[in-house]
A and B are shown apart, each in its own frame.
Chain A
């Protein structure tokens, strides 16, 4: 299974992964900004918590990116 078919199939994992992770991060950033608006004095803690939440969800997107890269053959571990 080579050539054009493999190139087309390579876009599926990263497409689904990025879309779903972006839709999940929407909720995190909205609630972080609303919390910072209500209580500006704990904005630093909220920012830290938001970063950690985003990094954890971003990791799932990166797993699908690694799969896409391995399919594209550009990476050899």
Chain B
């Protein structure tokens, strides 16, 4: 009887937990920025916020375009923190909040669609509408299929890891309520962090691929070649180091042969 009630109310539970995770994100943001940020010694809460955001600002800087950092870094931080909090929601011992929203396929599908749509919008912002369409069509006319497979792979990876963990937990708890579920919870902590990280890093690489032009890559390549040539020229001017050693090598070989 109880299981029918749970299955009947499951969509509402998923939506409720989704709203709970969003509220937790807002509370996290409020806590880490609750005092003045630019004066005085940073406290421990600000340190946590800076540690989290520093990682994503660094990743956004690696994309290469300086203008992109203010647009991309909050997007990546939101993706990571939402998936992380939502996965960790499954660790709670409370009855309704036990079900992480990412364990049901609609939520990871929505997240993956947002990530790929965000990629296309960001490429539209930086390269213009013509550049965005050219990115979908140019080197290979069927390139837009890569976007579709990106959606599928991102969503299925996240759903499979977290939803599979959740399904295993539910099945084990109907059989053995005490003891073994604890081990599964502990083992489930690692995929919780790793899947959030992998989702964010893959979104970063998609954005990097969408923002870079071809001629920008050639310019960077030419700059690197020029730097290498200058370094090689400066090495030739230095005198060679190993001048005395070959003689000692022959002498020692000569001494070794009678023995």
Contact = CB atoms under 8 A, between A and B. Distances in A.
Interface of A: 51-52, 55-56, 58-59, 62-63, 65-66, 69, 74-75, 77
Nearest to B195: A55
Interface stretch (B115-123, B153-161, B175-183, B223-231): B153-161
Contacts, number: 34
Interface string B159-195: 1110010010000000000000000000000000011
Given A52-B198, A58-B161, A66-B159, 4 more contacts: A55-B157, A62-B157, A63-B160, A69-B167
Contacts of A65: 160, 164
Contacts of A62: 156-157, 160-161, 164
28 contacts: A51-B194, A51-B197, A52-B197, A52-B198, A55-B194, A55-B195, A55-B198, A56-B198, A58-B157, A59-B153, A59-B156, A59-B157, A59-B160, A62-B156, A62-B157, A62-B160, A62-B161, A62-B164, A63-B160, A65-B160, A65-B164, A66-B156, A66-B159, A66-B160, A69-B167, A74-B167, A77-B105, A77-B106
Secondary structure of the B contact surface, majority rule: helix
Most buried by B among A59, A63, A74: A59
